[in-house]
Chains A and B, each alone.
Chain A
Amino acid sequence: MRLGVYGLALTFVLLVLIGVLAWVADEQRALPYEIRVPHIPNDITIYDGSPISVRHIVLLLLVGCKEALKFQNYLVILISWTVSWFLLGGMARKIRDIIFGIIFQYAVMILYLSIVHVRITLYIPESIIPAFCAFFASTGMFLLLKKLRKYDFFEVLEKKLNIRVEPGYKYEIPVPFTCPNCNAVQYSNAQYCWKCGTDLTKFYNERAR
């Protein structure tokens, strides 16, 4: 869930920022760079109409062209990001899910474009590059977040949620062990010994040290 929320928040902020900037400039901003790779056109036309490349779709998705700022198009872009990252990213447990998320997002956009009668042309490999970039970026983010989350669990609890964690509960207590007071066997780290009722928290804390 966390990944989905992060992904959504990040893209949302970016999108809104780009949108607002472009809107204020009142003019289409030319892209600062042009990717030059050989064209091998592959027509995967779904509907007849003026042709549009997959690169263009990527540009649309990144709000990098004029059409993207049309209200209707902008709305669809927002929806496609939201749907794919919130739903799929939220459930994402494996890298497989992320690949599926990206494909799904593209599919949403293509579906939309095909509904408004645009002819879609796929250029290889030029069109694949942005997809690869997106894949690596999101995978990186996924792994990073996963690592961060594991590392900081108790820190998150203590600093962000203000939950004090006794040292005795930060480490594994190997069971079974015997009660230091009465020698009864304990099969879990229960707070009190079942036989003599001694509070064992102190024992756990000492053990952690």
Chain B
Amino acid sequence: MEILRIENLRFAYEPGQWILDNINLRFRKGEFVLLIGPSGCGKTTLLYCINGLIPHRLKRGIRKGKVLLNINGKWHDAASLPMNVISQHVQTVFQDPEIQFFKLHVIDELAFTLENLGYSREEIARRIEFATKACGIEHLLNKDVFSLSGGEKQRVAIASALAVQPDILLLDEPTSNLDPVGAKMVLETIERIAKHGSLVILVEHRLEETSKHADRVIVMHEGRILVDAPPKKVYGDPELLQKLYEIGIRPPWPAELISRLRKKRILPENAPVPLTVEDASNIIKEYLKQGQLTPIKIPAPDIPSIFSSADNNRRPVIEIKNLWYMYPDGTVALRGINLKIYEGEFVGIIGNNGSGKSTLLLNILGLLRPSYGKVYVFGKDVTKISVAELARHVGLVLQNPDLMLFQPTVWKELAFGPRNLGLPKEEIERRVKMALKMMKIEKFAQRDPHRLSRGQRHRVAVGAVLSMIPKIFIADEPTTGQDYGSCKDYLELLAKLNKEGRTIIVVSHTLDIIARYCSRVVVLHRGRIVLDGPPREVFARADILERIQLDIPYITRISLLLRDLGIPVALRIEELESYLEKSLVQR
């Protein structure tokens, strides 16, 4: 049964600048739809048109066309229905769970919306039971909302939307503010509710975990629908794939791997499209079983030289000696860290929220004082040198670029650091020009950084650090809020800086990035270092990583599943592709 029709929908904040441009879509009850597209493509605006926020709450702007909801067999335009009627049929879960809560206890929160909609006590109890079971949050019912973790909060938000038993459930990047554990929780919940009868429209960047549930994948670009097809078609059809690459969207890794193997004719043209890592490894194994391919063992790549023999003459750039840190509330965030980082290393620090990653960074930057132990940067105790002096050596780029931009023009922003170092005018100019060129932002030099797009603002923030020419460059969560394309550009730049001899430290949740670029991975868990070594060896220790609930990069996971065929552990897709090419092509 059709439940939602969007006809010739257009929307603009300013006349002529259509954010949604002639959208035509039809949805059936019970469908699970994955809505994807690069940032700023109009996904969220489309959701707002469906849930009535446009035009009922966000009154500014021009809306044309129709959003028709099927209510008891009759079609109504969302613009002419009152909000309280729409909310009985359409429920939305936003990025940030906090803003959606009104009550202190989970059970009250769940009952709140239902009470407002005027249901009887018995009905409310019945629906709460249904929703909590569906989302698997029975154990949270009597807890205080604000004592929950991010993932738990988002699950409560989903349950409270589901309790309304809406015809349409909209999920707007529900995992983007969560750490891997929280995201996993929410993705599990999404999996449970996927086939619960509502039409679910999910906006999400994590295609690997969500594509397998989807009946349809809709790709938006510049306010238009670019592709609307089942996931296996979107990720399998070479033409559609080409369209995705063009707008900077990468298909899920398993699908990309198989598509590359097909292109190289290692696998036949009609090989199925995998949506999970298990599917991908099974497809390869299936062809082996059919006798079309024979595996040969190939040697694993060498271990990086710094890990094969200790060189005590090298001077560390960062040296941490038995570092403990306790917050004033008694939370012990770091428990005895001993660590040396050397010049020219590209170190990835990973761990779940609460593992101590950010506390470690703040201690290295001298912004927190160790409760016990010492931190030395270039041989100097960080608590004994000023933040300004440290900034000469250590550059930090934060997750949110807006925290770092406060000058009226991009040029001044980039000149601010060198000027504070008291450098002569010519030197400042030289450095600014260099940073502008490196970040490809020359044409914005005289513009207000706050008026640029998020990706551009991020580049300005990086440029402002680069103009200081720091010897150590620290990037905190470089991937959040960026699409794959700009994220890749940024890391390529860091890799380039690393090649020039600078030390790079990256803290990230996105393990694929760590696996791809880092020469060393430090895994933190509950304030201690659990593993520290070359990424290939660290990510191969699935048993230890699983115990601390940390994921393994998708490509590495596929290679681990193929290990019994003699395939070495792989970190990058190109690497796995070449291993497979070498070991499977012979008949």
Min CB gap B542→A, angstroms: 11
- Name the A residues within 8 Å of B335 (CB-CB): 165, 169
Report B327-348 CB contacts with A as 1/0, cut-off 8 Å: 0101010011111111000000
Is A184 within 8 A of B307, CB to CB?
yes
Is A187 within 8 A of B328, CB to CB?
no
Residues of B228-285 at the interface with A, using a CB-CB cut-off of 8 Å, are none
8 Å CB contact of B340 from A5, A163, A170, A187: A187
Is B338 within 8 A of A173, CB to CB?
yes
> How far is it, in angstroms, between the C-alpha of A151 and the C-alpha of B538 when the chains are bound?
37
Is A172 within 8 A of B537, CB to CB?
no
Min CB gap A171→B, angstroms: 6
Report A152-171 CB contacts with B as 1/0, cut-off 8 Å: 01100100010101001111
> How far is it, in angstroms, between the C-alpha of A192 and the C-alpha of B533 when the chains are bound?
10
Please, which residue of chain B has its CB at the minimum distance from the CB of A193? B533
Is B336 within 8 A of A178, CB to CB?
no
> How far is it, in angstroms, between the C-alpha of A153 and the C-alpha of B338 when the chains are bound?
17
Min CB gap A136→B, angstroms: 25
The count of residues in chain B whose C-beta lies closer than 8 Å to any C-beta of chain A is: 41
Residues of B385-404 at the interface with A, using a CB-CB cut-off of 8 Å, are none
Is A185 positioned at the interface, with any CB of B under 8 Å from its CB? yes
Is A163 within 8 A of B332, CB to CB?
yes
Is A191 positioned at the interface, with any CB of B under 8 Å from its CB? yes
Is A12 positioned at the interface, with any CB of B under 8 Å from its CB? no
Is A38 positioned at the interface, with any CB of B under 8 Å from its CB? no
Please, which residue of chain A has its CB at the minimum distance from the CB of B345? A187
- Name the B residues within 8 Å of A172 (CB-CB): 321-322, 338, 373
Stretch in contact with the other chain, from B44-52, B452-460, B524-532: B524-532
Is B1 positioned at the interface, with any CB of A under 8 Å from its CB? no
- Name the A residues within 8 Å of B369 (CB-CB): 93
Min CB gap B285→A, angstroms: 26
Is B324 positioned at the interface, with any CB of A under 8 Å from its CB? yes
Min CB gap B262→A, angstroms: 35
- Name the B residues within 8 Å of A191 (CB-CB): 528-531
Report B300-337 CB contacts with A as 1/0, cut-off 8 Å: 00010011111010000000011010101010100111
- Name the A residues within 8 Å of B523 (CB-CB): 190
> How far is it, in angstroms, between the C-alpha of A2 and the C-alpha of B371 when the chains are bound?
12
8 Å CB contact of A188 from B306, B308, B529: B529
Is B186 positioned at the interface, with any CB of A under 8 Å from its CB? no
Is B117 positioned at the interface, with any CB of A under 8 Å from its CB? no
Is B531 within 8 A of A170, CB to CB?
no
Residues of A65-119 at the interface with B, using a CB-CB cut-off of 8 Å, are 93
Please, which residue of chain A has its CB at the minimum distance from the CB of B327? A1
Is B566 positioned at the interface, with any CB of A under 8 Å from its CB? no
Is B522 within 8 A of A192, CB to CB?
no
8 Å CB contact of A192 from B324, B520, B530: B530
Is A185 within 8 A of B310, CB to CB?
yes
Question: Contacts A188-B522, A192-B531, A195-B533: A176 and B312 contacting too (C-beta < 8 A)?
Answer: yes
Please, which residue of chain A has its CB at the minimum distance from the CB of B308? A185
Question: Contacts A153-B324, A172-B321, A175-B338: A187 and B544 contacting too (C-beta < 8 A)?
Answer: no
- Name the A residues within 8 Å of B75 (CB-CB): none
> How far is it, in angstroms, between the C-alpha of A150 and the C-alpha of B373 when the chains are bound?
10
- Name the A residues within 8 Å of B339 (CB-CB): 175, 187-189
Is B430 positioned at the interface, with any CB of A under 8 Å from its CB? no
Is A132 positioned at the interface, with any CB of B under 8 Å from its CB? no
8 Å CB contact of B337 from A2, A157, A188: A188
Min CB gap A69→B, angstroms: 34
Is A195 within 8 A of B328, CB to CB?
no
Is A194 within 8 A of B537, CB to CB?
yes
- Name the B residues within 8 Å of A178 (CB-CB): 310
Min CB gap A200→B, angstroms: 10
Min CB gap B201→A, angstroms: 43
- Name the B residues within 8 Å of A187 (CB-CB): 339-342, 520, 532
Min CB gap A189→B, angstroms: 4
Is B541 positioned at the interface, with any CB of A under 8 Å from its CB? yes
Is B340 within 8 A of A192, CB to CB?
no
Is A188 within 8 A of B340, CB to CB?
yes
Residues of B498-529 at the interface with A, using a CB-CB cut-off of 8 Å, are 520, 522-523, 528-529
- Name the B residues within 8 Å of A185 (CB-CB): 306-310
Most buried by B among A2, A168, A190: A190
Min CB gap A182→B, angstroms: 11
Is A197 positioned at the interface, with any CB of B under 8 Å from its CB? yes
Is B534 positioned at the interface, with any CB of A under 8 Å from its CB? yes
- Name the A residues within 8 Å of B531 (CB-CB): 190-192, 194
Is A139 positioned at the interface, with any CB of B under 8 Å from its CB? no
Min CB gap A102→B, angstroms: 23
> How far is it, in angstroms, between the C-alpha of A185 and the C-alpha of B339 when the chains are bound?
13
- Name the A residues within 8 Å of B303 (CB-CB): 195
- Name the A residues within 8 Å of B543 (CB-CB): 197
Is A11 positioned at the interface, with any CB of B under 8 Å from its CB? no
> How far is it, in angstroms, between the C-alpha of A161 and the C-alpha of B308 when the chains are bound?
41
Please, which residue of chain B has its CB at the minimum distance from the CB of A157? B332
Is A127 positioned at the interface, with any CB of B under 8 Å from its CB? no
Question: Could you pull out 22 A-B pairs where Cβ atoms are within 8 angstroms?
Answer: A5-B328, A150-B372, A153-B371, A157-B332, A161-B330, A165-B336, A168-B336, A172-B322, A173-B322, A176-B340, A184-B533, A187-B341, A187-B342, A187-B520, A188-B339, A190-B532, A190-B533, A191-B528, A191-B530, A192-B530, A194-B531, A197-B543
A→B interface (CB under 8 Å): 1-2, 5, 93, 150, 153-154, 157, 161, 163, 165, 168-178, 184-192, 194-195, 197
List the 4 closest A-B pairs by CB distance, nearest first: A194-B533, A169-B336, A188-B339, A190-B532
Other than the given A185-B309, A194-B532, A195-B533, 20 more pairs (CB < 8 A) read A1-B328, A153-B371, A157-B332, A163-B332, A173-B338, A175-B340, A176-B310, A177-B310, A178-B310, A187-B341, A187-B342, A187-B532, A188-B340, A188-B522, A189-B338, A189-B529, A190-B532, A191-B528, A194-B531, A197-B544
